[in-house]
């Protein structure tokens, strides 16, 4: 075991892992808040972690407090101190369950960080890691989210194509997910990254008063991702709460858009969104079991 990693439990049933980070590719809080949501909802227990030493900077000139841990003082005494956390959790029992990882994207020594993470993956006997992340883009807020995909091993592509994903051809700075996919391939580990496109609208060309709208927590993206991962990993996870939250989010945005249209008709918000809709092709993920259920329902209605 890597000397930076500590595991005090190795569940026999945890063969799949969902992983996320507090990172810059965290639109809609997909990468940071969705894993935490799963930890809370499934009452997952912590089983290990990666030590923070070597991976984080205290400051870079000009960044002020951007990189620093957050402290809360009361009358001169420390009440809270935010530590860098990279933790493994397990949700389930001795016969069925899955692993969750939630971490802080490293500032430096990324090779050692990746080695520590993948060493733990191998030590835990994980068959496949699914990294979740979000990116902002102009897409309809009330449609199924576009999911792009990166994977570590070439043999994974045909299977992943069945999950209604778009294979990424991005060029630019690597995220922690893409970096880990590269390192995982070198070790023959199955690791995939699902990026959900989170609605974000730029109105800066239309008005100086309203610059940008974006979803802080995109429950619809969380739900669309988890539908895929639940099917892929055969997870015993109830998604009804996420489904409800996603419906409420869309309803809230309906009201927000209507309000903005009334207050600032000169923006032409509806016209802007109609243009976004025209450029967007919605793709739905429909597991075969759901298809059979839907078709059976139609047959029963006809009968």
Average the pLDDT over each of 2-16, 46-60, 158-172 and give the range with the smallest value: 46-60
The answer to whether 132 and 148 have CB atoms below 8 angstroms apart is no
User: Length of the chain, please?
Assistant: 303
Residue of 178 and 110 predicted with greater confidence = 178
Would you say residue 194 has pLDDT above 70? yes
111-134: average pLDDT: 95
Kindly give the pairing relationship between strand 71-74 and strand 14-22: unpaired
Mean pLDDT rounded to a whole number for the chain: 87
Per the DSSP assignment, residues forming a β-bridge with 102 are: 20, 87
Would you call 113 helix, strand, or coil by DSSP? Answer: helix
Residue of 85 and 190 predicted with greater confidence = 190
DSSP 12: S
> Which percentage of the chain shows pLDDT scores above 70?
83
- Extended strands (E) in 152-222: 166-167, 190-202, 212-214
Q: The tokens of 200 are what? A: 């974000």
Q: Which structural domain, as residue segments, surrounds residue 47?
A: 5-302
Would you say residue 82 has pLDDT above 90? no
- pLDDT for residue 136: 94
CATH number, domain of 37, equals 3.40.50.10900
Q: The tokens of 22 are what? A: 């507090």
DSSP 29: G
User: Distance between CA atoms of 120 and 14, rounded to whole angstroms?
Assistant: 12
Q: What DSSP element (H or E) covers 134?
A: strand 128-137
Q: Which residue has the tokens 């199955």?
A: 190
- pLDDT for residue 57: 58
Q: What DSSP element (H or E) covers 35?
A: helix 30-42
User: Distance between CA atoms of 219 and 97, rounded to whole angstroms?
Assistant: 23
- Please name which of 18, 21, 26, 23 lies closest in space to residue 44, comparing C-alpha atoms: 18
pLDDT category, 51, cuts 50, 70, 90?
A: confident
- pLDDT for residue 291: 44
pLDDT category, 209, cuts 50, 70, 90?
A: low
- pLDDT for residue 302: 60
pLDDT category, 48, cuts 50, 70, 90?
A: very high
* Residue pLDDT, tens place only, 240-295: 999 999 999 999 999 988 888 888 887 788 888 888 889 898 988 988 555 445 54
- pLDDT for residue 75: 65
Q: Residue 213 class from Cβ within 10 Å (0-12 exposed, 13-18 middle, 19+ buried)?
A: middle
- pLDDT for residue 248: 97
Quickly count: other Cβ atoms within 10 Å of residue 211's Cβ.
12
Give first-to-last CA distance, the chain, whole Å: 61
pLDDT category, 103, cuts 50, 70, 90?
A: very high
Question: Residue 292: left if φ>0, alpha if ψ -120 to 50, beta else—which one?
Answer: alpha
79-104: average pLDDT: 88
Number of domains in the chain: 1
- pLDDT for residue 13: 86
Residue of 36 and 295 predicted with greater confidence = 36
């Amino acid at each position: 075991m890597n000397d930076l990693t500590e595991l005090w439990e190795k569940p026999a049933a945890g063969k799949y892992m969902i992983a996320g980070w507090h990172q810059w590719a965290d639109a809609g809080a997909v990468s940071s808040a969705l894993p935490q949501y799963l930890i809370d909802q499934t009452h997952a227990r912590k089983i290990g972690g990666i030590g923070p030493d070597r991976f984080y900077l205290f400051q870079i000139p000009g960044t002020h407090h951007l990189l620093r841990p957050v402290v809360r003082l009361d009358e001169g005494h420390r009440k809270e101190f935010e530590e860098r956390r990279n933790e493994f959790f397990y949700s389930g029992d001795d016969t069925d369950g899955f692993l969750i990882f939630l971490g802080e994207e490293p500032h430096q020594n990324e090779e050692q960080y990746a080695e520590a993470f993948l060493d733990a993956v191998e030590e835990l006997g994980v068959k496949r890691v699914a990294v979740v992340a979000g990116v902002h883009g102009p897409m309809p807020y009330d449609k199924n989210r576009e999911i792009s995909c990166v994977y570590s091993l070439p043999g994974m592509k045909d299977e992943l194509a069945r999950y209604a994903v778009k294979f990424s051809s991005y060029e630019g700075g690597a995220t922690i997910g893409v970096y880990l996919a590269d390192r995982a391939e070198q070790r023959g580990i199955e690791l995939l990254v699902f990026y959900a496109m989170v609605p974000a609208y730029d109105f800066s060309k239309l008005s100086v008063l309203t610059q940008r709208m974006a979803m802080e927590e995109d429950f619809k993206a969380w739900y669309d991702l988890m539908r895929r991962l639940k099917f892929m990993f055969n997870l015993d996870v109830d998604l009804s709460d996420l489904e409800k939250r996603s419906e409420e989010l869309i309803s809230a945005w309906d009201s927000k858009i209507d309000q903005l249209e009334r207050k600032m008709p000169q923006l032409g918000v509806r016209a802007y969104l109609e243009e976004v809709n025209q450029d967007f092709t919605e793709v739905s993920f429909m597991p075969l079991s759901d298809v059979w259920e839907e078709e059976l329902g139609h047959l029963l209605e006809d009968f």
